[in-house]
Structure 1
Amino acid sequence: MTITERETTTAHLAQGLVEYRLEGEGPETVVIFHGGHMRAGLALGEEVFTASDHQVLALSRPGYGRTPLTTATTPAAFADLTAHLCHELGIERVAAVVGVSAGGRTALTMAARHPHLVERVILQSAVAFVPWPDRRTRLAGRLVFNARAEVVTWAAVRLLMRTAPQVGLRLLLRDLSTRPTGQVMAGLSEHDRAELIALFTLMRSGEGFVNDMLPVPDCAGQVTQPVLVIASRTDRSVPFTHAESLTATVPRAEPAESRADGHMIWFAPDYPAIAGRIKNFLGAG
Structure 2
Amino acid sequence: MTTSERDTITARLAAGVVEYRLDGEGQQVVVVFHGGHMRAGLALGEEVFTTSGYRMLAPSRPGYGRTPLATGTTPAAFADVTADLCRTLGIGRVAAVVGISAGGRTALAMAARHPHLVDRVILQSAVGFAPWPDRRTRLAGRLVFNSGVEAATWAAVRLLMRTAPQAGLRLLLRDLSTLPVRQVMAALSEHDQAELLALFGLMRSGRGFLNDMLAVPDCAGQVTQPALVIATRTDRSVPFTHAQSLAATIPRAELVASQADGHMIWFGPDYPAIVGKIKDFLATG
TM-score range, shorter chain: over 0.9
1:26 maps to 26
Q: Percent identity?
A: 79
Q: CA deviation at 1:146?
A: 1.1
TM-score (norm 1): 1.00
Q: CA deviation at 1:52?
A: 1.0
Q: CA deviation at 1:68?
A: 0.5
2:207 maps to 207
One-letter code aligned to 1:219: C
RMSD: 0.4
Q: CA deviation at 1:196?
A: 0.1
Q: CA deviation at 1:141?
A: 0.5
| SS of residue paired to 1:254 | strand
1:253 maps to 253
Q: CA deviation at 1:269?
A: 1.2
| SS of residue paired to 1:94 | coil
Q: CA deviation at 1:192?
A: 0.1
CA distance in 2, matches of 1:122, 1:247: 11
CA distance in 1, matches of 2:153, 2:284: 43
Structure 1 residue runs of 4+, over 4 Å off? none
List gaps (5 residues or longer) in structure 1: none
70-79 vs 202-211, greater mean Cα deviation:
70-79
Q: CA deviation at 1:178?
A: 0.2
2:152 maps to 152
Q: CA deviation at 1:177?
A: 0.1
Q: CA deviation at 1:102?
A: 0.2
Q: CA-to-partner distance for each residue in 1:157-209, whole Å, 9 max, x for gaps? A: 00000000010000000000000000000000000000000000000000000
Q: CA-to-partner distance for each residue in 1:3-47, whole Å, 9 max, x for gaps? A: 000000000000000000001001100000000000000011000
Q: How many residue pairs get matched?
A: 285
CA distance in 1, matches of 2:27, 2:181: 42
1:220 maps to 220
Q: CA-to-partner distance for each residue in 1:71-95, whole Å, 9 max, x for gaps? A: 1110111000000000010000000
1:276 maps to 276
List gaps (5 residues or longer) in structure 2: none
1:65 maps to 65
One-letter code aligned to 1:119: D
Aligned positions of 1:85-164 closer than 5 A: 85-164=85-164
2:240 maps to 240
TM-score (norm 2): 1.00
One-letter code aligned to 1:110: M
CA distance in 2, matches of 1:145, 1:99: 22
Q: CA-to-partner distance for each residue in 1:98-127, whole Å, 9 max, x for gaps? A: 000000000000000000000000000000
